[in-house]
Amino acid sequence: MNRSIYFSKTYWSHFSSQWKLILQSFLSLLGLIAAVVTILMFLLSTDLQTQIKDYCVYGIAIAFFLGIWLNRPKFSIIQQLPQSDIKIEICVADIFDLKGAYVIGTNTTFDTEIGNGLISATSIQGQYTKKFFYDYHELDEKLNSQLANYPSTAVLTQKKGKQKSYEMGTVVKITTKKGSAYLLAMAIMNDNGAAKTTVEDIKTSLSKLWNFISTNDGTEPVIIPILGSNYGRLTENREQLINEIAKSFILACAKQKFTEKLIIVIHPADYIECNLDLNELKTILEYQCKFSKL
C-alpha cells in the first residue's frame, strides 16, 4: 500500500464523516470496560480496587482509540452474490500487486507502441507492457497471431500507429510465464493518438468480455481497473464507473459462472485525488447484490 494514503486529506476526512460511528463504538467499549471493572471491584481486595480506580483514565483512552481503529477507512470491501459463492471485491491497490487475470483496456486498433504519441508509459497498458514483456514488439507478436482470427476494417483517417480496426469489445487473451491478461478494445484512438470512449462503449465491451471468459477460460480471479477513468477521457466519476462494472458483472453471472471472484481495483492516486469512500461503495455494492437475479 502506498504510504502517502495515510497522510492524505481523503484518509483523515473519513474520520470526520464517521464521527457518529466512532462515538457509538467509544461508548459501547467504555460500557464494556466499565462492566468488567465493576465485576472486578466485587472480587478484588480493597487495595487492588484502589489501584484499578487510579487506572480508569487508561480505560477511557483505550476505548477512544479502539473506537477510532474499528472505524478507520477501509481499503478493501468484499460482497458475495446471493445464493452463490461468487464474490466481488473493491480494493485500493496497485493492480499488478494482485494475483489473477488482468483486464487491460486498449483501443480498437490494438496499438501497443509506448510513446510517439500513442500508448502512455503510465497507463495500465503501458505498465503491463513494461512488466510482462521485453518491449512492445513482443506483445505485438502475441496480439497479431490471435487477431488474425478476427475480422477487421481499414482505418480511413491519417491515424498514427496501426491501420486495422476491430470491433468494440474485441477480446484477446495474452498468456505469459508471469500470468494472463485480457486485452479489451474499449476505446477509439483518433488521428492525434488520443483514445476516447463512452459509457455505452464500456458496457458493450464488458458484456463481450464476460462472454469471452465464460466460453474460453477457467475460474481464476479477474482483476479489472476502473476502465475509461483516465485515458478514456470519460466525464463520469469513478463511483459511476465502478457501479457500471459491478452491474455488468452481476448481470453476466446470472447466466453463467465464469470466475470465483471479480476484483475492481482503485489506484491509490485515484483514491486520494477523487476522495473515494469505500463505505459508500460498499453500500452501493450491497444493494446491487441484494437485488440481483441470480
pTM above 0.75, yes or no: yes
Residue 196 pairs in a beta bridge with: 188
Determine the average pLDDT of the residues in 100-110: 95
Helix axes 56-70 and 46-54, enclosed angle (nearest 10): 50
Contact (Cβ atoms closer than 8 angstroms) between residue 259 and residue 221: yes
Contact (Cβ atoms closer than 8 angstroms) between residue 253 and residue 208: no
pLDDT of 87 reads: 94
pLDDT in tens, 145-203: 999 989 999 987 778 889 999 999 999 999 998 889 999 999 998 887 788 899 999 99
pLDDT of 273 reads: 87
Q: How is residue 220 written as a grid cell?
A: 481464476
Selecting from 1.20.120.160, 3.40.220.10, 3.10.580.10, 3.50.50.60, what CATH number does the domain 76-290 have?
Answer: 3.40.220.10
Q: Where are the domains of the chain?
A: 19-70, 76-290
pLDDT of 294 reads: 55
Q: How confident is the model at residue 106 (pLDDT cuts 50, 70, 90)?
A: very high
